[in-house]
Structure 1
Amino acid sequence: MARLVEAAEKLIRERGYEATSSTDIAAEAGVAPSLINAHFLGKAGLLYAVLRNFNDQQLAATRVAAACPGTPTERLAGILHTWAQCDLAEPRMYAAIIGLSWSWPPETEREYAADLAIFWDVVMAVVNEGIARGEFRRISRRDATDIISSIHQWGMRPGIFEGADPAACAERVIGQVMLAIAAPGRLPD
C-alpha cells in the first residue's frame, strides 16, 4: 500500500488532485485500481493517507521550531514560517487536502482532529509560555487553534494562487496572528 501512497503523492504533486484519476495512480504504482477502493475506500481516502505522511514530516519540523531559542513570540513565528514552508512546498497537494477536508465524513474529521491535536500540543506549549510571560493575552486552546489555523489557511492562498513566496505568506500570517493574540500593550507595529 506504500506504493499507492507514493504514486498518489507523486501524481497529485505533478497534476493536481482533480486531474489525477484512481486509474492513473494504480498504473503508477503497478497495481490494480480496485486496491485503492479496497484499502483506502477510494481516491479521497488515499489522499488522506498522503496527508498523514505530510503531517508526520511537518510535526517533526514544528517540534524543532518550537524548541528553538527565543521568546514565545519568536518561536510561534518560527512555527508559522515552518508551516508555510511545508505547505507551500507542495501547493497543489495542500490545496487538494484543504478542499477535501470540507467534504470528508465525520469519522475522518474526528481522526484528523486527533492527529492535529499533537500539533496543537506543541503550539499551545509555546502560547501558554507566552501567556505566562505577558506576551500573549489569555486565550483558550480552542480559540487559539481556531485563530491560528484560520489565519494560516487563508494566508497560504496567495502562495497557491499567485505563486507568492512562503516567507511572504508567513510574515502576513504572523502579523495577523499576533494582532489576534498579543497581550494588550504588546501589539506589533
Structure 2
Amino acid sequence: MPRPYKLTEDGRAARAARSTETREALMAAAHALFGQHGYDGVSVTEIARKAGVSASLINTYFEGKAGLAYALVESLNDAQEAASRAIVEGGGPPLRRLRDMLLVWARGDLSDPRILQVVQGYSWQWSDETETRNRATRAIFKGLVADLVAEAQHSGEIAATLAPARLADAIFGLYTWRTRDAVFSRRAPEEALDLLWPQIESLLQAARPA
C-alpha cells in the first residue's frame, strides 16, 4: 500500500510562509483598491487579480470580502492601542484623558464609515475563532478605559462605588452605539464625541462623590 503523504518540517514551514504571503498580498490589494474605489466599488475578483492569486482564496483565508475588510481593521489595532496607552500614561485629569482616548478611537473608526458598517454587520456572523480573537482585543481597550476610571476614583473625581470594569463595559457600549449613529447621521468624529460625552457624564453621575 502507498504510504500516506506527510509534510516534512521544511515543507510545513514553506506552506506557512506561502499562506502568510498570500494573506498579506490580498490585504495589500484590498487596502489599495478600497482606498481608490471604496468597499462597494471593488469586487473580490479585482482584489484577487491585483494580488495575483485565485479569488477563492479570499474565502479560504478571510471568510469572504467582509472578512478581508475586518482583517484590515484588525491590522490597525496595534497602532491604536499604542496611541491609547500613550494617552492613558500621560498627564492631566483622568476623565479628560478618557475623552481624548475616545476621540482617537472615533477618528480611527469613522475614517471610513462604510468599512465600519461592513465590519459591524460581519461581526454577527463571523466564526467562533474570530469572535474569540475580537473579544481579546476588546478586553485590551476596555482595560484601558477601566484604568482611567480607577484613576479617577483614586483621585476623587469619581466615588469608588462601582467597579471600574463595569463602568468600562457601559462606556464601551455607549461608544459603540454613538459611532453607529455617526455612520448613519454622517457625523464627524468630533461631533460624535460631543454627543457621546454627556451620556458618559450622566453615567458617571451615579459614581460621583456627593
TM category, shorter: 0.7 to 0.9
Structure-2 residue corresponding to 1:79: 101
Give the TM-score normalised by the residue count of structure 1: 0.84
Question: Within 1, Cα distance between the matches of 2:127 and 2:168?
Answer: 21
Matches within 5 A, 1:1-189: 1-13=23-35, 14-16=37-39, 20-137=42-159, 138-182=161-205, 183-184=207-208
Q: Is the 8 A contact 1:159 1:165 kept in 2?
A: yes
Amino acid of the structure 1 residue aligned with 2:118: A
Which runs of 5 or more residues in structure 2 are unaligned?
1-22
Task: Say which structure, 1 or 2, has more relative contact order (CA 8 Å, 6+ apart).
Answer: 1
Q: C-alpha root-mean-square deviation of aligned residues, in Å?
A: 2.3
Amino acid of the structure 2 residue aligned with 1:167: E
SS across alignment from 2:156: coil
CA 1:20/1:148 → structure 2, altered by over 3 Å: closer, same or farther? farther
Question: Within 1, Cα distance between the matches of 2:63 and 2:119?
Answer: 16
User: 1:152 Cα deviation (Å)?
Assistant: 1.0
SS across alignment from 1:103: coil
Q: Is the 8 A contact 1:12 1:92 kept in 2?
A: no
**Which runs of structure 1 show a deviation greater than 4 angstroms over 4 or more consecutive aligned residues?**
none
CA offsets 1:131-158 (integer angstroms, 9 cap, x no match):
2223234333552233122211221234
SS across alignment from 1:74: helix
Question: Within 1, Cα distance between the matches of 2:80 and 2:74?
Answer: 10
CA 1:49/1:15 → structure 2, altered by over 3 Å: closer, same or farther? same
User: 1:117 Cα deviation (Å)?
Assistant: 1.8
Question: Within 2, Cα distance between the matches of 1:127 and 1:100?
Answer: 31
Question: Within 2, Cα distance between the matches of 1:27 and 1:141?
Answer: 48
- Percent identity, aligned pairs only, is 35
Q: Is the 8 A contact 1:65 1:82 kept in 2?
A: no
Question: Within 1, Cα distance between the matches of 2:163 and 2:48?
Answer: 44
Which runs of 5 or more residues in structure 1 are unaligned?
none
Q: Is the 8 A contact 1:36 1:46 kept in 2?
A: yes
Question: Within 1, Cα distance between the matches of 2:66 and 2:115?
Answer: 12
